[in-house]
Amino acid sequence: MMLDLITQQAQKKLWEQFNNCLTSEVAEEFLQTLLNLMMIVFVVNYDYRRNIKNFEGRYQFCSKDGQVTIGAVFHNGRMEVIKKMIERPNITITFRDGKTLLNFIISPRQDILGSMLRHDVVTDGNLNYLYKFGFMAKQLQLMMPQLPQ
């Protein structure tokens, strides 16, 4: 019971943070928020969890200024976030800042090609992993509950 309550509160907070990232100009926390939210929704939502059944994927996210280094590893139907460089990533995504990453992955004013052409975001590796990640991120966006103003 207590665990449910904590999970619900954590979810609510994450949804609020996620919504803030999408609606405000401040998106520095976007990546961490997105990954945390993903992890929690995988736990509580069976349909969403099906996305990572039998999925093996290793993502490395880095900011160009070196301030952010986060790995996301999908293995055995689970997701793990690692705050350091990971080995053998399927794809490495290097971004100028949180806003450019948000714009690349999920923004309603999404500009994937523009981000790549301007080199706001540089990728190294198998882009299909990025496309899958983009789908899962967008699903979260579509699942976002109506939040109180």
**Which position among 142, 146, 148, 149 is part of the footprint of another protein (CB under 8 A)?**
142
- Does 55 bind another protein (CB under 8 A)? Our answer is yes
Report the nearest approach of another protein to the CB of residue 41 (Å): 15
For another protein, give the closer residue by CB, 101 or 148.
Answer: 101
Whole-angstrom distance, CA of residue 147 vs CA of residue 149? 6
Residue ranges in 90-119 that form contacts with another protein under rule CB under 8 A: 105, 110, 112-114, 116-119
Q: Quick check: 75 binds another protein (CB under 8 A)?
A: no
Does residue 78 bind another protein (CB under 8 A)? no
Helix (H) or strand (E) holding 102: helix 98-105
Position 39 contacts another protein (CB under 8 A): no
Q: How far is the CB of 114 from another protein (least distance, A)?
A: 7
Which two three-digit tokens encode residue 100? 């450019």
Q: Give yes or no for residue 76 binding another protein (CB under 8 A).
A: no
42 near 49, Cβ under 8 Å? yes
Contact between 18 and 28 under an 8 Å Cβ cutoff? The reply is no
- Report, in Å, the least distance between residue 28 CB and another protein: 22
Instruction: Give the three-class secondary structure for 65.
Output: coil
**Token pair of 62, please?**
């880095």
Q: Does 5 bind another protein (CB under 8 A)?
A: no
78 vs 80: CA distance, rounded Å: 7
For helices 2-23 and 98-105, the axis angle rounded to 10 degrees is 90
Under the rule (CB under 8 A), what is the footprint of another protein? 50-51, 54-55, 105, 110, 112-114, 116-119, 122-129, 131-132, 134-135, 137-139, 142
